[in-house]
Structure formats: structure tokens, C-alpha cells
Amino acid sequence: MGSTIRCSSFPLFGAAKLVLNFQFLLALLPLFGSAVAYSQQASLQNGLLSLPYIVSNETAYSAELSLISDTDPVQFELLAAIPAQVADNIVASSFTDNRLFVPDIDIEGFAYWAELLLITEQNSVPVRFELSQFGLHAAIISQNLLGIDNEPQWQRLPGSASDIGVGADGSVWAIGTDERGGGFGIYHWVAGSWQRVDGGAIRIDVDPGGTPWIVNNTHNIYRRVHNSWLRVAGEARDIGIGADGTVWVTSGGGTYRYDNGDWLGVRGSGVRIDVDPSGIPWVIDHTDDIHQLIAGRWLRRPGEARDIGIGADGSVWIIGTSGDDGGHGIYRWTGNAWNRVIGSSRQISVGPDGYPWAANSDGDIYRAQ
């Protein structure tokens, strides 16, 4: 991404230093009242950017902006705005320090995020914004092999597990329930059975080449190299690996991305983590809240969870907090909400085709089909 963003750089889209809130902008144009209809998700259609939910200084608004043709960099003009009720179950855009951050924009079925900079001089109309940053989310696959609206059929597998990791190549590894030095036994799924390897751990994930990475009960990190465990610098509570090979860990001191032997940290810690196909981490914090890192900032997603798994196809699954036989409810991300599916579990990981693997409170292992 260069420093200048043009319409051609954002193909589907076709500064004064002010300290103010969105209320100031409303004073510069008439309110359109109920004549403007808004959906639950931001979208760009026919040059109209609809933002259903913007929060500024703890006040909520809905707004519409028009794409100004032939602008370079891309610019938008604020057309309409109305007050909205504050809601906890809607992903909010935010307006602070003259920057409008939109975490999710639906553009012809693709999910983007964008940051727009206010460029209008104080007390001037029309109110205009300039596109300063944007990016494409990992695809939320609505029609993978399982299908977003289909109930999984759970197949019981042999063995027992306390954690499971599935790589983008389909390799499956698990942490058992048999106590060993470092935690519990480590197992590899081979030809329909579990093959034990040396070592012990409490958390596991698998990189795109099928190599497992583990965290043991003293928070040390290891990866499997030539049939032995190689210590990786640093400490972690959990580890997640994306289909692109990006490795993230979360610890008591923050969340970190592995970069050629070093860990690059961002603020915010958690207890569970997984990574989408674009290398973006999703984290569950100590209060069960779910967060996704977008453009260097943590975006709160709706719902609560105890574990999270993301497939190479972009499918996101969580274990919720509602109690049930076998653990807690299982949910699948639709792009803006969590759909409950049949079954309950304690741990979850997702195969490259979007099918989850799960272990319940008794350690029983299941695979969706």
C-alpha cells in the first residue's frame, strides 16, 4: 500500500487538524430522519457508502457518504446522518481524532476495512473524507464444503484429547489427557489412529507444512524439527498459526507475532488465540471477549468464547460460554454474527475445508463431516 490511494488502487470503490466529534459534522448538514434506511453492516453500492453504526464520544450515529468520482486520492462526501441507539451486538465504526475507521465494509461480497481522514476545514461544507488506508479481510466462506447453514454431523474418533491443532495441509495433532513431563502426551493422527511422539505440552497448533508448534506447562514454546523438539525463544499461554504460515502467541504480557526468530508485540493479551488465512489474529481475553486485530487496533467482535479455531478457508468457529453436556455450545461465524450448531465441546480446531475438530469435557474427540 503506497502513501497515495487512488480509485484504481481500490478497484471496488470504483486536512485540517481538528479535534471534534461526530456531533459537529451533524451541525453542518440536515438530518434525514427515518427517510434513510440502514442495514446492520456497512456497505458500498453504486457509489454510496452506508455506515449503519458509528460511535463517537459514546454517542451512536448512522450515516451515508457518497463516493466523489475522479478523486485522487479517493474522497467521500457526507450526505446524511441520524442519531442511532447504542447497541452492544453491532460491530461499530468509530470517529476519533478526525479519523473514521470502518472495520467491515461489504463490497460485492468481499469484506474490507477502511480508514478515512476528515479533510474539511472547520465550519465548512460539504463535509469530506479522504481514504487513507484500506485492506481486504480474509474471506468468510459462505459456501465451503460444509456450508454456512448446514448442521455438522459429528463422528466420534478414537482416543482422548485436551487440545487439537489442524494445519492448512490437513495434518492433525493433539494434546492427550495422559500426564507427561511438560503437560500431556503429544499425538499425530496417521492413517486413522493416534501415534504418540516424545514430549509433553498443554497447547498445540500446526503450520501449513504440517509441523506442530507446542506450548508446555511452563509456557515454553517448541516446534518439531527432524523428529525432535526445538526450543523457540519466548513464552506463551497459547499459540495460533495461519494458513499463510504466520505464527502468533498470546501471553500475560501481550500478543506477539513470530518474525525470523524474534517476537514482535502488540498491546493486549489473551488466553486463547488463532490466526486467519491472511495472518490476522483473533484473541479471546480473560473475560471471554473476542477480539480481531485490524489495522493495528483490536476490534471487539460480538459474543463470548472459551476457545477459537480458524480454518485455511477462513471459517471461524468458537466454543461459547453457555454450559451444556460435553462442555459449551459450538458456534460458527457468518461474517457478522455467531450461529449455534448442534453439539458441545471444550476445545476446537478447524480443517482446511472448514470442518471443525473438537474435544469435549471428557476428552472425547469428534470430527465434523
How do residues 250-302 score in pLDDT, each as one tens digit?
Answer: 998 899 999 999 999 998 999 999 999 999 999 999 999 999 998 788 888 88
What confidence score (pLDDT) does residue 89 get? 65
Q: Indicate the pTM of the whole model.
A: 0.76
Closest CA to 104 of 52, 171, 176: 52
Model confidence pLDDT, tens digit, residues 38-75: 446 889 999 999 999 998 888 888 999 999 999 888 99
pLDDT at 182: 97
Return d(Cα 235, Cα 212) in angstroms, integer.
16
Mention every residue, 6+ apart, whose C-beta is less than 8 A from residue 163. 174, 175, 202, 203, 204, 347, 359
Residue 314 CA to residue 142 CA, distance in Å, equals 10
Instruction: List for the chain the helix, strand, coil content (%; round to 5).
Output: 5, 55, 40
Q: Is 103 left (phi over 0), alpha (psi -120 to 50) or beta?
A: alpha
Q: What is the pLDDT along the chain (369 residues), one digit of tens a residue?
A: 333 444 444 444 433 333 344 555 555 444 443 334 444 688 999 999 999 999 888 888 899 999 999 988 899 999 988 888 877 667 789 998 899 999 888 887 777 889 999 998 877 888 999 999 888 776 554 444 455 557 889 999 999 999 999 999 999 999 999 999 999 999 999 999 999 999 999 999 999 999 999 999 999 999 999 999 999 999 999 999 999 999 999 998 899 999 999 999 998 999 999 999 999 999 999 999 999 998 788 888 889 999 999 999 999 999 999 887 778 999 999 877 889 999 999 999 999 999 999 999 999 999 998
Contact 255, 269 (CB under 8 A): yes
For the chain, list the domains and their CATH numbers: 7-136 (no CATH), 154-368 (2.120.10.30)
177 burial type by CB count under 10 A (0-12 exposed, 13-18 middle, 19+ buried): middle
Q: How high is the pLDDT of residue 20?
A: 40
Whole-number Å distance between alpha carbons of 350 and 250? 19
Round to whole Å and give the CA distance between 184 and 164. 12
DSSP 139: P
